């Protein structure tokens, strides 16, 4: 049966972690995968989450099946964080939100549903994008192409190229957009540029799919959610995938959500009924614990306030590490202007290093980033930033 099965290549990013684990270099640093680590270089258990764990453990409950679309209070929380508590869309019953297995699960439910309603649509993702966007939409049955995004020369977004590519897309094309903290480049659109994207989405009748895996990591929950609200004001229907992997440091619990904006409440009810079939035929219903933790934090004003503080601490620490890296590179003798690192937002920096330089960083210095030159600045700390700076300086050879 399996004699013709070919070995598949490892995931470009998760495969790096395996390589990192096997590396005996005592100074090794993993800047490959997008995982936030604290000043001690450890994946944090947030105070608010630990408190929620205690609260839940104090009243142990049997774990029944959740509804197909998940914990209702959790879905309501996702809606509120993404669209804002006062959103008229919520009041009008136009938003369908289902609990999902992280941001990836949300994208997959959305992709499978879209394949049913728009089987012939093409999918456009940014160039470059998170690797899994291409793979996931391809596996869902779509042909995936790219729109221009990164401008390597100008170190920013090629807005004119992006708008031109979107404008050339056929009506109904599914456009995957990073709502904030673009992965891998770290360059986001300004509110004015988003309005121009929305102009094209409306004029060309494109299907926008906003992937929001890092809400709160650019400027704040409200601030980063403004993009979704801008769409909500002008675009009749679109998709938003949410992930709490990073914002609650709950990677392994697989907590996320998919929201679909519909024309009216009647349409929303029909859409929900179909999305439930997608879920049922994949995994029946989502797991209980991660959603219960997020729900417990968000429902308790004190825990919620502490979570907002902790999210701010993570955001500020990443920003401080961006500055430390720029300073460290200068100290290590790099003469070229590296200040673009502090212009970027979110967990990543597209360092501009070549594949050869990234391979040297890994093999000679044990500093792991992706071949595309992406490094996770959220894994830097005071203890390793000097070594990372010196290693990058060595391969840049200025």
Longest dimension (CA), the chain: 63
| Inter-residue contact 83 to 229 (CB < 8 Å) | yes
Element (H, E) at 201: helix 191-203
| Inter-residue contact 356 to 373 (CB < 8 Å) | no
Q: Please tell me whether residue 105 binds ligand TYF under the rule CB under 6 A.
A: no
Total number of residues that touch ligand PLP (CB under 6 A): 12
Q: Can you state the angle between helices 289-299 and 301-331, rounded to 10 degrees?
A: 100
Closer CB to ligand TYF, residue 14 or residue 164?
A: 14
Q: Two tokens at 165?
A: 């590519």
Q: Please tell me whether residue 249 binds ligand PLP under the rule CB under 6 A.
A: no
Query: Which residue from 165, 211, 224, 295 is in contact with ligand PLP, where contact means CB under 6 A?
Result: 211
Q: Is 211 a catalytic residue?
A: yes
Using CB distances below 5 to 8 A depending on partner kind, what does residue 134 bind out of ligand TYF, ligand PLP, none?
A: none
Q: Please tell me whether residue 43 binds ligand TYF under the rule CB under 6 A.
A: no
Closer CB to ligand PLP, residue 32 or residue 102?
A: 102
Tell me the pairing of strands 367-368 and 374-376.
unpaired
Q: Is 307 a catalytic residue?
A: no
Q: Please tell me whether residue 103 binds ligand PLP under the rule CB under 6 A.
A: yes
Helix, strand or coil, per DSSP, at residue 189: coil
Using CB distances below 5 to 8 A depending on partner kind, what does residue 256 bind out of ligand TYF, ligand PLP, none?
A: ligand PLP
Q: Is 194 a catalytic residue?
A: no
Mark out the alpha helices in 59-172 (DSSP H runs).
72-83, 88-91, 102-117, 131-139, 159-167
Query: Which residue from 71, 213, 261, 311 is in contact with ligand PLP, where contact means CB under 6 A?
Result: 213
Binding span for ligand TYF by CB under 6 A among 7-15, 93-101, 147-155, 216-224? 7-15
Supply the DSSP symbol for 74.
Answer: H
| 96 DSSP β-pair partners | 260
| Inter-residue contact 294 to 253 (CB < 8 Å) | no
Residues within the interface to ligand PLP (CB under 6 A): 34, 102-104, 130, 178, 183, 211, 213, 243, 245, 256
Residues within the interface to ligand TYF (CB under 6 A): 11, 13-14, 33-34, 130, 132, 183
Catalytic residue IDs = 130, 211, 246
């Amino acid at each position: 049966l399996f004699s013709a099965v070919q070995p598949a290549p490892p995931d470009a990013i998760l495969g790096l972690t395996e390589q990192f684990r096997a590396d005996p270099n005592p100074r090794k640093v993993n800047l490959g995968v997008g995982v936030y680590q604290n000043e001690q270089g450890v994946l944090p258990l947030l105070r608010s989450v630990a408190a929620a764990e205690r609260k839940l453990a104090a009243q142990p409950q049997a774990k029944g099946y959740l509804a197909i679309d998940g914990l209702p209070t959790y879905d309501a929380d996702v809606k509120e964080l993404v669209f804002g508590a006062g959103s008229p869309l919520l009041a009008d019953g136009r938003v369908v939100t289902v609990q999902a297995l992280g941001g990836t699960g949300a994208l997959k439910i959305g992709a499978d549903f879209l394949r049913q309603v728009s089987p012939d649509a093409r999918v456009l993702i940014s160039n470059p994008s998170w690797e899994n966007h291409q793979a996931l939409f391809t596996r869902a049955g779509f042909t995936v192409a790219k729109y221009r995004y990164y401008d390597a020369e100008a170190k920013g977004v090629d807005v004119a190229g992006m708008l031109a590519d979107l404008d050339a897309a056929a009506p109904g094309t599914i456009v995957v957009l990073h709502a904030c903290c673009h992965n891998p480049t770290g360059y986001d659109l300004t509110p004015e540029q988003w309005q121009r994207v929305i102009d094209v989405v409306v004029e060309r009748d494109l299907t926008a799919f906003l992937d929001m895996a890092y809400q709160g990591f650019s400027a704040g929950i409200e601030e980063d959610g403004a993009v979704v609200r801008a769409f909500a004001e002008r675009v009749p229907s679109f998709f938003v995938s949410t992930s709490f992997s990073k914002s609650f440091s709950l990677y392994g619990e697989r907590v996320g959500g998919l929201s679909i904006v519909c024309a009216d409440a009647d349409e929303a009810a029909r859409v929900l009924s179909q999305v439930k079939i997608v879920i049922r035929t994949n995994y029946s219903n989502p797991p209980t614990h991660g959603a219960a933790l997020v729900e417990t934090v968000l429902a308790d004003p004190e825990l919620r306030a502490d979570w907002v503080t902790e999210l701010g601490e993570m955001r500020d620490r990443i920003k401080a590490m961006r500055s430390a890296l720029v300073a460290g590179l200068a100290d290590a003798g790099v003469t070229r202007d590296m200040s673009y690192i502090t212009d970027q937002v979110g967990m990543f920096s597209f360092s501009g290093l070549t594949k050869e330089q990234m391979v040297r960083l890994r093999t000679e210095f044990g500093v792991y980033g992706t071949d595309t030159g992406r490094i996770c600045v959220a894994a830097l700390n005071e203890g390793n930033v000097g070594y990372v700076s010196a290693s990058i300086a060595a391969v840049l050879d200025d």
